[in-house]
Amino acid sequence: MRHLLTLFDLEQSELKSILATAQHLKSELRSGNRPPILARHTLALLFEKPSLRTRVSFETGMTQLGGGSLFLGDDVGWGKREAPSDFTNVLGQFVDAVACRSKKHERVEELARFNAMPVINSLTDLSHPCQAIADALTIQEAFGCVAGKHVVFVGDGNNVSRSLALACAMLRMRFTLARPDGYELDESWLARIAKQYPDAQIHQVSDPIAAIKDADAIYTDVWTSMGQEAESKIRRQAFADYQLNSKLMSAAPSTARVLHCLPAVRGEEITDEVIDGSQSDVINQAGNRMHAQKALLVFLLRPQWIAENVPQSDS
């Protein structure tokens, strides 16, 4: 049984296949076609954190694929009323897959351990693979072949930048994290990437202006994530020179695209003129969450459909 807890659970060829499937399904939708690939399939959404994009994109995506979804909140008693094995194995009797949005990565690992149904990490403190797939799809749409493109993340070495760095390694893109001291990517995560993808080009610098001079995509995220509210004052001070604004963007190529995983704190990590500007792909990026996740669901639940219907690409 396959799970997606991090992008390490995919081979490079599988990630490329998911991206090709996402592009295919997006094109089909634009043509008015919604093939019922997952008819009579049910996805459970097991969430410990609030959500807009993740919940709506998964629910809508399952509907477009001919299936259904169930939102499961605190009332189901996950980790409270019964043993994890009982909860997970019973849930697996009812649904075909579960997308889990959890505060701790260990929680999704626990779900996957019982192999009751495919488990998708839809966000944890460690990793956000669904976001990274949508990010890669957005960059691919902007530039075609992504190999050799330079992605610069201006901000924190958090779950989003970790996952994006790994996606870049898998797709042969360069990745640079521009961050203040103390907010680097985890050494253990970088070591794992280096072991599996020894040709990966991942760099960390403190100067955001130097970092973006040859950037193809410039990405930022909130300075204070959910669960870090007590650090907000310290983080605002640490990241004060890392705001994505018109002054910083003036150092970037005019062809560079702006990305943000949303929600954004406008006026903090990014300004209105940048997020709403002509170089911004932020709204398309958000929309691509649905297309990427539809492709992921098909990959996990009906991979043969991809083999029979989706032309594969090496880009």
| Whole-angstrom distance, CA of residue 219 vs CA of residue 207 | 15
The answer to whether 4 and 129 are in contact (CB under 8 A) is yes
DSSP 197: -
Examine the residue annotation and report whether 100 is marked as an active-site residue of this protein: no
Token pair 């351990």: residue: 113
Residue ranges of E strands in the chain: 42-47, 68-72, 97-101, 119-123, 150-154, 174-178, 201-205, 217-220, 257-260
Biggest CA pair distance of the chain:
56
Closest CA to 274 of 245, 303, 306, 233: 245
Choosing from 24, 128, 260, 291, the catalytic residue is: 128
The answer to whether 13 and 39 are in contact (CB under 8 A) is no
Taking the alpha carbons at both ends of the chain, their separation in whole angstroms is: 28
Choosing from 3, 24, 53, 101, the catalytic residue is: 101
Tokens representing 300?
A: 């996990």
Examine the residue annotation and report whether 289 is marked as an active-site residue of this protein: yes
Choosing from 125, 261, 279, 293, the catalytic residue is: 261
| Whole-angstrom distance, CA of residue 159 vs CA of residue 161 | 6
Examine the residue annotation and report whether 145 is marked as an active-site residue of this protein: no
Binding-site positions for L-ornithine: 159, 221, 225-226
| Whole-angstrom distance, CA of residue 107 vs CA of residue 65 | 28
Choosing from 107, 221, 279, 281, the catalytic residue is: 221
Closest CA to 219 of 189, 176, 184: 176
| Whole-angstrom distance, CA of residue 87 vs CA of residue 263 | 31
Choosing from 23, 96, 107, 131, the catalytic residue is: 131
Binding-site positions: 101, 128-131, 159, 221, 225-226, 261-262, 289
Which sequence positions are flagged as catalytic?
101, 128, 131, 221, 261, 289
